[in-house]
Amino acid sequence: MAIGSDYSPPATGSVLLQRQDEVDALRYLIAQKRMYSRAKRWLGVRWFGMLVLGLAAPIVAVIWPESAVVVGSIAGAWIFMGRTLLMFLQKRNTERAAAVQEQFDFYVYEMPQGTKRPKLPPLEDIASAVGPDSEISKVSSREKLTGWYVVSVNDPGVTAVAIAQRSNASYSYRLLRTTGIVWSSVAVLWAALLTTFCVVAGLSLVTFLLGVVLPLLPAFLDVTEYIVGIIRSGRDRLALCREIEDKIGNTQDPVTPENLRVWQESLFELRRDAPTVPDVLYKLQRTKNEVAMSSAAAQLSQRANPREE
């Protein structure tokens, strides 16, 4: 993005609150949500295949010890398809969703466009993902997409945008942190159960290595890479969150429009490159995360605009 000083934030937070619930903004919000869901479905297909391999490999190794080559071939073929076709489809939808979500932010913040995003879908694709304009308000209410950002109506615009950007980074950080904990726990539990099963079944070391470990090794590495990516992405969001927080209410080094442009670029890159989080975790954590986000936003608003007692 061409970063410059040509951005004038809205006058107050009330402008953000109004614009984020307008039809043009909600159209982008609904579209990005559905595109992220598509990416998650492709991730689900990848994980389903690995789950089948993870459950089937030890059982097949017990019943048919000579199947090591067959199981290994199937695992290799699935990993190849997962890392090529399925990953391409997942990443493409994630990039498209990130570009659309950025358009939502631009609209709400009254922020001028920066560098053109090659993955931004044409207007027709966005409209197709959303459905009729007459249904946008109803859909956004049903899916609880109104009131996306929580800011104070009296916050100066520059403060309101900074709080909204920080809320986005913080919300994603909390979600990624939870996802990392869940997947790490699942991976450890799976490895322990798998080892226990093989010991109880009395598999020889050769059968264990050739029939279980080697066929599952690519899948295990795939899961490990996913977990590491989640942890790294979460740390990047936390760093951005703290950077914005340090600026809000800082009279010596206050937030500037240029800061907002730079942070917006960082948010886009984090969204584009972040591992996909399953919808089920998002839904389970949504209420808790939104309550925490609202509380933090109120505290930051008070810090930036202290009220005299």
The C-alpha torsion from 12 through 17 and 19 to 20, rounded to 10°, is 140
In a domain, 175, yes or no: yes
In a domain, 5, yes or no: no
In a domain, 102, yes or no: yes
Cα–Cα distance for residue pair 33/100, rounded to 1 Å: 9
- Confidence (pLDDT) at 62: 65
Q: Which residues of 165-204 are buried (b: 16+ CB within 10 A; e: fewer)?
A: bbbbbbbbbbbbbbbbebbeeeeeebeeebeeebeeeebe
SS3 content of the chain, % helix, strand, coil (to 5): 80, 0, 20
Residue 99, domain extent: 13-146+154-304
- Confidence (pLDDT) at 248: 94
In a domain, 98, yes or no: yes
The C-alpha torsion from 23 through 277 and 78 to 53, rounded to 10°, is -130
- Confidence (pLDDT) at 300: 93
In a domain, 214, yes or no: yes
Contacts 24+ apart (CB under 8 A), 246-253: 247/162, 248/159, 248/162, 248/163, 248/166, 248/300, 248/303, 248/304, 249/300, 249/303, 249/304, 249/306
Tally of domains in the chain: 1
pLDDT along the chain (309 residues), means of 10: 70 96 97 95 86 69 69 76 90 96 96 86 95 95 94 94 96 93 89 82 76 72 88 95 93 93 95 88 90 92 72
In a domain, 3, yes or no: no
pTM: 0.86
> What are 190's two structure tokens?
């799976």
Largest CA distance in the chain: 79
Cα–Cα distance for residue pair 101/118, rounded to 1 Å: 14
What is the secondary structure of 4-26 as a DSSP string? -S-----SBHHHHHHHTTSHHHH
